[in-house]
Structure 1
């Protein structure tokens, strides 16, 4: 009886130590983003230096390997903010890795966007190219089966970046537990303040297709936008429009790579 008890206590202790040892500051990812992401247009947009990242992939691979080592048991000991920050960083990080792994196709002109990296019968978001929480995973699983299912948080759609120029900006720092609330709000404000993607004109309100694709996550899009009226509207007249049943149209999505060359 003593030996099984000791084994159980040993495993518990090992899991507890492992849980504490994970770097929830995600400093490694922040270092990568600071080095390779260029923020511009009054901090509303960003572009990635994929050429340099593809030449220096070791830091990214090392960071993503540390994410892959996290077990489901370890993950379940974390706070909600630790879990969500981890998952957002994983999505953005593995998306970068997907582009880097196929960057020769972009340099040769065989690929123009992430969508070109899919197979004949599958999209790039359905590729099992990384491991997370003990199993091989896809980007679709990470976004649609994990993040959207486990977290009632529409601001994730301003934080998850799929490497396209119509995406929200890729933040030049990792998402962390302590700063997560402010970071998510900053992302949504920046996204709605980027009037190449969202705004108001003489036809009404125009929005990114993201608000159309994920309409259910925002519950009532008009009510949701009213929370961010100062970001979306540029004048008192526009702010008054947001108090009405305003018209909404959705912009075509530009899938070209969010690279320095396409900014």
Structure 2
């Protein structure tokens, strides 16, 4: 009997568990994110958001299949970034959080261990660098993880899910590369690719895209329509110029109509 019980327990550990529900987060994103801009106050007021974070704390990512686990970690990163902004009541830039002043050195926003997943506390940096990048080797996460800055890819108005993750990541790549000319664009006549610092300057992210400007070009070319831009990127014969990264908060500001209108 004991052997049978141990076998059943081992089998349950080896079998991927059903994907957790991200429906509460999905509903909040649909309601409070427009064009990548976030209504942080609405998230702060929503009891459903607190409940969703509590559900992440109880979910063991190791019990999930690879796609479901990656979707969970991406959602956790984005949800806890929103929570970080609200916990510090920051409304200008994430870089103001835990900021160093002169000789007083602080640890910055990405080192604060506020994200609880599967019963363990993580910093946003640990989720991205130690878990997502190391365990999943998926370059498209750079189009999905949103650090609350205008320079980031837009926050998606839906939660990620394992069943649709591949299509969602491809769509995020196209949005970031084709719909944000201040961040990424290709000038065929000048043979210049204007690219976000995400591809060539931040940390060692360039390694995720092959390690060189030429491999970055070939990687992102697949998201461009057939034509001169894609051909140039695939050729590797272009110059990269890095666009300016906007660290302003990706906040949905209240609209005030012009006086007298």
TM score, norm. by length of structure 1: 0.81
**Runs of 4+ with deviation above 4 angstroms:** 4-18, 230-233
Give the Cα–Cα distance (whole angstroms) in 2 for the partners of residues 122 and 23 of structure 1.
32
Question: Quick one: structure 1 residues 228 and 262, their matched pair in 2 at CA, closer, same or farther if it must change by over 3 Å?
Answer: farther
Q: RCO greater where, 1 or 2, for CA within 8 Å and sep 6 or more?
A: 1
Aligned-residue offset at 1:66 = 0.5
Question: Quick one: structure 1 residues 262 and 156, their matched pair in 2 at CA, closer, same or farther if it must change by over 3 Å?
Answer: farther
Question: Quick one: structure 1 residues 230 and 11, their matched pair in 2 at CA, closer, same or farther if it must change by over 3 Å?
Answer: closer
Aligned-residue offset at 1:125 = 0.4
TM-superposition CA deviations, 1:136-178 (whole Å, max 9, x none): 1100000000000001110000000000001001111111111
Q: Find 1:28's aligned residue among 15, 24, 39.
A: 24
Give the Cα–Cα distance (whole angstroms) in 2 for the partners of residues 58 and 256 of structure 1.
27
Unmatched runs of 5 consecutive residues or more in structure 2: 101-105, 256-261
Task: Indicate conservation of the 8 Å contact 1:189/1:231, yes or no.
Answer: yes
TM score, norm. by length of structure 2: 0.82
1:215 match: secondary structure:
helix
Unmatched runs of 5 consecutive residues or more in structure 1: 40-45, 107-111
Question: Quick one: structure 1 residues 59 and 246, their matched pair in 2 at CA, closer, same or farther if it must change by over 3 Å?
Answer: same
Question: Quick one: structure 1 residues 17 and 101, their matched pair in 2 at CA, closer, same or farther if it must change by over 3 Å?
Answer: farther
Q: Find 2:47's aligned residue among 42, 55, 58.
A: 58
Question: Quick one: structure 1 residues 83 and 221, their matched pair in 2 at CA, closer, same or farther if it must change by over 3 Å?
Answer: farther
Match in the other structure for 1:77: 63
Give the Cα–Cα distance (whole angstroms) in 2 for the partners of residues 70 and 230 of structure 1.
35
Aligned-residue offset at 1:98 = 0.8
Aligned-residue offset at 1:195 = 1.2
Match in the other structure for 2:175: 190
Question: Quick one: structure 1 residues 57 and 117, their matched pair in 2 at CA, closer, same or farther if it must change by over 3 Å?
Answer: farther
Task: Indicate conservation of the 8 Å contact 1:131/1:137, yes or no.
Answer: yes
Match in the other structure for 2:209: 218
Task: Indicate conservation of the 8 Å contact 1:207/1:249, yes or no.
Answer: yes
Which stretch of the first structure deviates more once superposed, 129-138 or 30-39?
A: 129-138
Give the Cα–Cα distance (whole angstroms) in 1 for the partners of residues 97 and 216 of structure 2.
34
Give the Cα–Cα distance (whole angstroms) in 1 for the partners of residues 16 and 57 of structure 2.
13
